[in-house]
Structure 1
Amino acid sequence: MSSGNVSAVLVHGAWADGSSWSKVIDGLKKQGIDAVAVPLPLTSLSEDVAALDRTLERIEGPVVLAGHAYAGAVIASSRSEKIRALVYVAALAPDEGETVGDVFYRGEMNPLAPTLAPDRHGLIWLPQEAFAQAFAQHATPQALAVLAAVQRPISVSCIGEAVGRPLWKDRPSWFLIAEQDLMINPETQHFMAVRMNAHVRSYQADHTPIVTAPDAVTHVVAEAVQAVSAR
């Protein structure tokens, strides 16, 4: 497989860091696709977009942007001319004027999903037990230990900031729907994917397929890279 000169840029969501993409990075490398994971501060949506744009400045040539969970809002808020396509991995895709919270709470929450509340610093942490119960219920004990140990809190301001015109209205998009997601209702994922007119790829995966179903994620990202490389 040849990706031409198209790189994959991978953006982590809440309670995670770039290492959550490690298996996908390896899978893409085996297919000849260079990948870079973006470090987000998770301090506000606008600051996260600025962090993404700083990473994109360092990359030569066109890119496919892939975002997990919260990062769906981040990847659609960039205006970089390098972006050729977007890949949503169990991700949130607010429309213009909506917030991340609007789409996250659109559907009924799963009973196993944790109750989320900010601490006195305005930061939302994922309860320890939620990693195994809802965040990545298909993960190995070793993977769960790492996810919990490296978790990074997300600021309330990230989920309360209304987005502008999302880039998915102007670029082709792919959406990996995680049908066993206990954090973001799969029905909400279907709703967003249809609204975006995305290429839908459905898998029996939990909320964090970048860790628990990396081959599926690699396949969808590579498909997007190939599609834009062929143009």
Structure 2
Amino acid sequence: MVPAANRKPSGYNVLLVHGAFADASSWNEVTALLQREGHNALAVQLPLSSLADDVAVTKAALATLTGPTVIAGHSYGGAVITGAATGVASVIGLVYASAFVPDTNESLLDLLGKAAPPEGAAYNVPSYRPGYLWIDPAHFPQVFAADVEPSKARVMAVSQKPISFDCFGGPSGPAAWHEKPSWYLVSRQDKAINPDLERFMAKRAKAATIEVSSSHASPVSHPVEIVGLIGAAIRKDRK
């Protein structure tokens, strides 16, 4: 195996967009694997203040990258990439990991109304920051990260980033999946987003789909599978 430091760059960028109750560090395992493969990975830090704000930050990050780019979103980050990648010629594929995939003018609240509430919905509560939501830290491991090593899940619980209520009601702009190929990882054991809603969104977007027995924290517990989908997007572009 060629050491990562000596590996020839692949020529592809991968922009990673985190979701609610998390930050860019949720992509650490995925980032490490991408770097070993020679890809230029960048994990965005979102303010989680509104969908429009988060899309703007992601667009700004995209603008710093030169060359073909795969953009991946986890959880709420799926809504962000759906808006941020629209009309950006350098984006060659969308990868959704246990993520929301809104259509044009559709909000997260609209999507959540299309399926039964997930098991963990009762633990989404006001945080220490006024107007911002988080998962009750006492229940975070079972709701968000049930297949993550317990001590790590407990750290994630108390370092989670709250999300503004405004993020859930903001409508999506034009949806990028209408113009770009997409891939989707469904988490069968997800308690933060109903897996049936994940399947609905993946099918509607005509995404190439895989299912894994994962909690909502798929970038942490199943990074290999996510990197596999990113690789599929790159291979499709190379053909």
Band of TM-score, shorter chain: over 0.9
CA distance in structure 2 between the partners assigned to 1:72 and 1:155 by the alignment: 16
- Tell me the matched-pair count: 230
- Within the candidate set 7, 18, 22, 2:13 is matched to 7
CA contact (8 A) 2:123 2:139 kept: no
Q: Is the 1:71–1:92 contact (alpha carbons within 8 Å) kept by the matching residues of 2?
A: yes
Letter of the structure 2 residue corresponding to residue 20 of structure 1: S
1:88 paired to 2:96: yes
Partner residue in 2 for 1:114:
122
Shift of 1:112: 4.3
Farther off after superposition, 57-66 or 25-34 = 25-34
**What per-residue deviation string (whole Å, max 9, x for no partner) do you get for residues 188-222 of structure 1?**
11111110000011111111110111111121122
Q: CA RMSD in A?
A: 1.8
Deviation by residue 1:12-63 (Cα, 9 ceiling, x = unmatched): 0001010110001111122222211011000000100111011112111121
- Of the three residues 123, 134, 141, the one matched with 1:125 is 134
TM-score (norm 2): 0.90
Between the aligned partners of 1:112 and 1:74, the Cα distance in structure 2 is 22
Q: What TM-score do you get using the length of structure 1 for normalisation?
A: 0.93
Alignment partner, residue 24 of structure 1: 30
1:29-108 → structure 2 map (5 Å cutoff): 29-78=35-84, 79=86, 80-108=88-116
Partner of residue 183, structure 2: 174
Structure 2 gap ranges (5+): 1-6
Alignment partners' CA distance in 2, 1:127 and 1:144? 13
User: What is the rounded CA distance, in whole Å, between the counterparts of 2:214 and 2:9 in structure 1?
Assistant: 26
Q: Does 1:137 align with 2:132?
A: no
The question of whether the paired residues in 1 share the 8 Å contact of 2:10 and 2:37 is answered with no
The CA deviation at 1:73 is 0.6
Measure the CA separation in 2 of the matches of 1:106 and 1:200. 20
Between the aligned residues of both structures, percent identity stands at 36
